Structure 1
């Protein structure tokens, strides 16, 4: 059966060929994290939906996907609620020591570095203000208790400002690219919807799941379900604005059940052009300004991801080999050290602590430790290889055995 389905679709519609471009699987980034490896996936809290589902014209899943693809919203402003529930353990601040970049940037030493600052969205609940005016102007503000972090893209300049530390990070000579091409700031429902739709192929069921009111807008609901066993993904739901085709809400629930792992939703949105002054930025008096190092890599949301050896949900990890396909694909890479968790001396204590957070496994690949979240799991072998993906522990072990 074709992956695009609808309760109202005819048999012919269900048998439609999947467009080649949509057979391309998603490219997700799975970086090394506090417990060895964890997801840097950003989740967003459900938007405050209005009561009463709107009565909209019937539409098939294929037509709704086409509507999303043709959406060309260049101007918007609004508020997005952000929350993530990956089920990561509370390490009491230890992650700062294990992940220097998480607290101090990627080596430039600035707390305002967007590559590190936005990783705060990997846990907890957050409020974002977003604005966009074409491909060259976007702004995202992360509102915190008594402070604010802003990321401003204006032409060739990208500014990050952390009011708490009064630090500024500046990147000059940036080109419009990646997600900036869409005219959308990072960390909005559209970003996540685009990635999810890349994963749609013959391993996926897609249906229209009724209608909803989101942020005062009439919307259709698109439901994406993996057909494969072995994945930790249960379903993805996308609320699509009925007029513009812009995704307004994105929800990812795990196969294990319970609360959503990822959920993105506008609580308020306007498609009027933001004031030009929205994107003006001048470093405050006394602020420490850090210039991006020459030759430094562009932030993840401004560059394409490259993979080696295949594509899939585990794709996007630079230098990784992808094993399998679709929702059960696993990214594999070698840490280069020839060893797994630290051992001996102080490193041994750290390795022992991290090891206590995971499950010991063995197979044809040898021995290793599996670290689990509610979505992404990772296996670190004793000889320094890493296998990670939105798959179960058994699927990781099977991938490691196959990759040996």
Structure 2
């Protein structure tokens, strides 16, 4: 089916409409601090798998955005497939080693802030369920094991079957006001993507698709600016409910999408109440989290989780530029750039080999690149990061200096 007549929705939808829709929507939120800049920048996903283009009434881009904003889905369950291809080097299972190392250091392998960092690479299958804003469940299916995160009223439980470990906190502890929480489901990804809709963005309706057996419209979001690494974003929107079903983020460099998160099966019926029941298994090691976010006295403090210090830095970040070519910058307070020589040993040499040495008015530094995010760490301890090309990043550092 040919794409529908496009509507260049550049700011046509009022912020209050979007926010009211977000407030009403039941959102499955995963409290996880994902490694590095990718967590702060990524919100999206590979090409939609079409199984016949349904014949749906015509709709403009503005109407479709409003349909997403007004979506009031309170109950759902289904299976989500998440594939991430940032082009990161193969670190030989370093992510799992870091998680198990944190557990040995007094943390818990069931703590979602460390466990779910596994989603930053590879392909994963999740089972999700929601019954209003106070009851959600996510299960990460692994080979011979399963990790579950359950929110039931004031309780938040994490359970790692392989280690038989349990993490327990409260909704107040684990709420988004206390943690860095990147998107987890298509609805969350949509909200993040729509925040980027301004006069630097082209938004059109690009035909229809079938996703998880549901008829859907395809919303196409493309940057108008040069200098960004983002090529296009596609959001498949359920034609009946307005619920986003799948996302596609394609980098400007082409090839496979950077991130794919979409339902392969979905139901909008009310999940059984037992879905959200959880009782720690006999013999499980339980780690409690105090209201201030610290572990109980039965366990020593955990080592800083991947992304913790970075998230704090972003909290005081300055944004340079506008729209898709905006760059976040902050000062780490550490002079000398990357550790090297006797100070950095093999780690410093390894990190340096992953980046490109650059120089300019800002001084000297190293640029680390993925297929989406570039980050510049200068020798005087400043960090510049964004979904922009290396040249755009260096230019921002020169002008920021």
Give the aligned partner of residue 332 of structure 1. 329
**Distance of aligned partners of 1:173 and 1:219 in 2 relative to their CA distance in 1, 3 Å threshold:** closer
TM superposition shift of 1:403: 1.5
Alpha-carbon contact 2:46-2:260 (below 8 Å) kept: yes
Q: What is the distance in 2 between the residues matched to 1:162 and 1:43?
A: 27
Alpha-carbon contact 2:236-2:244 (below 8 Å) kept: yes
Deviations, residues 139-159 of structure 1 (Å, cap 9, x unaligned): 000000000010000011111
Give the aligned partner of residue 25 of structure 2. none
* Equivalent residues in 2 for 1:116-131, closer than 5 Å: 116-131=114-129
TM-score under structure 2 normalisation?
A: 0.84
Give the aligned partner of residue 267 of structure 2. 270
Count of aligned residue pairs for this structure pair: 366
Give the aligned partner of residue 187 of structure 2. 190
**Distance of aligned partners of 1:227 and 1:17 in 2 relative to their CA distance in 1, 3 Å threshold:** closer
Q: What is the distance in 2 between the residues matched to 1:362 and 1:392?
A: 15
Helix, strand or coil for the counterpart of 1:174?
Answer: helix
Alpha-carbon contact 1:43-1:262 (below 8 Å) kept: yes
Give the aligned partner of residue 390 of structure 2. 393
TM superposition shift of 1:101: 6.3
Q: What is the distance in 2 between the residues matched to 1:64 and 1:325?
A: 25
Deviations, residues 294-321 of structure 1 (Å, cap 9, x unaligned): 4128xxxxxxxxxxxxxxxx99931111
- 1:21 corresponds to which of 10, 15, 29: 15
Give the aligned partner of residue 152 of structure 2. 154
**Distance of aligned partners of 1:261 and 1:286 in 2 relative to their CA distance in 1, 3 Å threshold:** same
**Distance of aligned partners of 1:395 and 1:162 in 2 relative to their CA distance in 1, 3 Å threshold:** same
Q: What is the distance in 2 between the residues matched to 1:84 and 1:218?
A: 25
Give the aligned partner of residue 363 of structure 1. 360
| Residue segments in structure 1 that go unaligned for 5+ positions in a row | 1-5, 25-30, 180-184, 298-313
Helix, strand or coil for the counterpart of 1:39?
Answer: helix
Helix, strand or coil for the counterpart of 2:147?
Answer: strand
TM superposition shift of 1:335: 1.4
* Equivalent residues in 2 for 1:228-267, closer than 5 Å: 228-267=225-264
- 1:288 corresponds to which of 285, 289, 293: 285
**Distance of aligned partners of 1:375 and 1:165 in 2 relative to their CA distance in 1, 3 Å threshold:** same
TM superposition shift of 1:265: 1.1
Q: What is the distance in 2 between the residues matched to 1:43 and 1:103?
A: 30
TM superposition shift of 1:44: 5.5
Alpha-carbon contact 1:43-1:82 (below 8 Å) kept: no
Q: What is the distance in 1 between the residues matched to 2:277 and 2:112?
A: 18
**Which segment drifts farther, 185-194 or 75-84?**
185-194
| Residue segments in structure 2 that go unaligned for 5+ positions in a row | 19-32, 295-310
Q: What is the distance in 1 between the residues matched to 2:48 and 2:210?
A: 10
**Distance of aligned partners of 1:275 and 1:38 in 2 relative to their CA distance in 1, 3 Å threshold:** same
**Distance of aligned partners of 1:93 and 1:173 in 2 relative to their CA distance in 1, 3 Å threshold:** closer
Helix, strand or coil for the counterpart of 2:315?
Answer: coil
Give the aligned partner of residue 182 of structure 1. none
Give the aligned partner of residue 168 of structure 1. 166
**Distance of aligned partners of 1:354 and 1:316 in 2 relative to their CA distance in 1, 3 Å threshold:** closer
Q: What is the distance in 2 between the residues matched to 1:189 and 1:20?
A: 21
Q: What is the distance in 2 between the residues matched to 1:46 and 1:153?
A: 31
Q: What is the distance in 2 between the residues matched to 1:245 and 1:237?
A: 15
- 2:213 corresponds to which of 208, 213, 216: 216
Alpha-carbon contact 2:45-2:249 (below 8 Å) kept: no
Alpha-carbon contact 2:10-2:203 (below 8 Å) kept: no
Give the aligned partner of residue 24 of structure 2. none
Give the aligned partner of residue 70 of structure 1. 70
Q: What is the distance in 2 between the residues matched to 1:89 and 1:210?
A: 36
Alpha-carbon contact 1:167-1:289 (below 8 Å) kept: yes
Q: What is the distance in 2 between the residues matched to 1:280 and 1:162?
A: 16
Q: What is the distance in 1 between the residues matched to 2:143 and 2:275?
A: 22
Alpha-carbon contact 1:42-1:84 (below 8 Å) kept: no
RMSD: 3.1
**Distance of aligned partners of 1:32 and 1:281 in 2 relative to their CA distance in 1, 3 Å threshold:** closer
TM-score under structure 1 normalisation?
A: 0.83
Helix, strand or coil for the counterpart of 2:345?
Answer: helix
**Which segment drifts farther, 358-367 or 314-323?**
314-323
Q: What is the distance in 2 between the residues matched to 1:134 and 1:238?
A: 23
TM superposition shift of 1:293: 3.8
Helix, strand or coil for the counterpart of 1:8?
Answer: coil
TM superposition shift of 1:228: 0.5
